[in-house]
Amino acid sequence: MRKAILFDLDGTLTDSGEGIINCAIAALKHFGLPVPAREEMRVFVGPPLHETFLKFGVKPEQTDEAIRVYRERYIPIGKFENTPYPGIRELLASLKTAGHKLYVATSKPETTSIEILEHFDLAKYFDCICGASMDLSRYSKEDVIAYLLEQNGQADNMVMIGDTKFDVLGAKKHGIPTVGVAWGYGEVKDMEEAGAVKIAYTMEELQTYLLK
| Cα 113 from Cα 107, distance rounded (Å) | 9
Please report, to the nearest 10 degrees, the dihedral formed by the alpha carbons of residues 181, 183, 187, 188 taken in order. 50
The residue from 8, 143, 163, 167 that is catalytic is: 8
CA–CA distance, 91 with 86 (Å, rounded to integer): 10
Measured over all CA atoms, what is the biggest interatomic distance in the chain, rounded to whole angstroms? Answer: 54
pLDDT of residue 90: 98
Active site residue 190: no
Write down the pTM of the prediction. 0.92
Neighbouring CB atoms inside 10 A of 126's CB total 21
pLDDT in tens, 16-71: 999 999 999 999 999 999 999 999 999 999 888 999 999 999 999 999 999 999 99
- The CA distance from 133 to 128, in Å, is 15
Mean pLDDT of 180-196: 97
What pLDDT is stored for residue 135 in this prediction?
84
pLDDT in tens, 88-113: 999 999 999 999 999 999 999 999 99
Q: For all residues of the chain together, what is the average pLDDT?
A: 96
Distance of CA 207 to the CA centre of its chain: 19
3-state secondary structure at position 188:
helix
| Buried b / exposed e along 172-192 (16+ C-beta atoms within 10 A) | bebebebbbbebbbbeeeebe
Kindly state the percentage of the chain with pLDDT values over 70.
Answer: 100
C-alpha torsion angle, residues 40, 63, 14, 119 (rounded to 10)? -140
Mean pLDDT in residue range 151-158: 92
